[in-house]
Amino acid sequence: MPLQLSLHDALQYHQSGQWDQAEAIYHQMLHSQSECADAWHLLGDIALRRDDVQRAMVLILRAIAAKPKVPAYYVTMGKAYQASGDLNQAVACLERALTLKRLHSRPANETLELVPLPEAKRLAWR
């Protein structure tokens, strides 16, 4: 099965909440291409959705190590830090995502799905 087809299939499962099926495909992808950053990131997202925050962080860090300039990875990492209660790190990740997004010079009206940054900063200073 071609890599892009399997990623497409996995994303369909992932988005419909069929995480076991998506997870199996991501693992198959990693078996043939161990540094597939998208697979590491999406496995991390599944772990986070299952409230396995520590595992999520490890997986997302693998994605970031493989492709350090992908804003979405930092958004998910920020969500993991938020879930762990480390709001300072959550804010740092979200700021990094915004910086990378600006560097990629995408249209200004395009937004990331973020925890509202002012709210995250306010919470971090409690």
In DSSP notation, 33-56 reads -TT-HHHHHHHHHHHHHTT-HHHH
CB 120 within 8 A of CB 90: yes
Whole-prediction pTM value? 0.77
Show the tokens assigned to 108: 């200004």
CB 60 within 8 A of CB 40: yes
| Fold that domain 3-124 belongs to in CATH | 1.25.40
Place of tokens 């396995």: 52
pLDDT tens string 39-93: 999 999 999 999 999 999 999 999 999 999 999 999 999 999 999 999 999 999 9
d(CA 45, CA 106): 24
Annotated domain spans of the chain = 3-124
Show the tokens assigned to 82: 């938020």
pLDDT of residue 117 exceeding 90:
no
